[in-house]
């Protein structure tokens, strides 16, 4: 059985209000994904997963970043 660990957050993209973020994640097998979160109450660290693109993997951090900027609407603003 393999020892699966949580992916490492290698970059976080945040909106101007601090209410939405996209994390770029590096996984144990060296592939990358991204996940979008929104703050649930406007304050504190309560984040709700909005978009999890874990089904799509990328070979590089830059490729995951590029996919996020194409697919997450508020990043295009």
Residue 20: inside a domain: yes
Residue 77: inside a domain: no
H or E stretch including 71? helix 61-71
Residue 41: inside a domain: yes
Residue 28: inside a domain: yes
Residue 1: inside a domain: no
Domain assignment of residue 16, given as a range = 9-72
How does pLDDT run across 27-42, given as a tens digit for each residue?
999 899 999 999 887 5
pLDDT of residue 46: 85
Torsion of CA 24, 27, 32, 33, to 10 degrees: -60
Residue 39: inside a domain: yes
Residue 38: inside a domain: yes
Decide if pLDDT at 43 tops 70.
no
Looking at the 3D structure of the chain, how many domains does it have? 1
Residue 16: inside a domain: yes
Q: How many CB atoms lie within 10 A of CB 18?
A: 10
pTM: 0.83
Which residues are CB-neighbours of 55 under 8 A, at least 6 positions away?
none
């Amino acid at each position: 059985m393999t020892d699966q660990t949580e992916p490492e957050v290698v970059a976080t993209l945040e909106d101007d209000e601090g209410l939405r973020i996209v994390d770029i994640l590096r996984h144990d097998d060296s592939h990358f994904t991204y996940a979008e979160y929104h703050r649930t109450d406007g304050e504190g660290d309560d984040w709700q997963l909005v978009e999890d693109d874990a089904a799509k993997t990328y070979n590089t951090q830059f490729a995951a970043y590029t996919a996020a900027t194409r697919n997450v609407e508020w990043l295009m603003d």
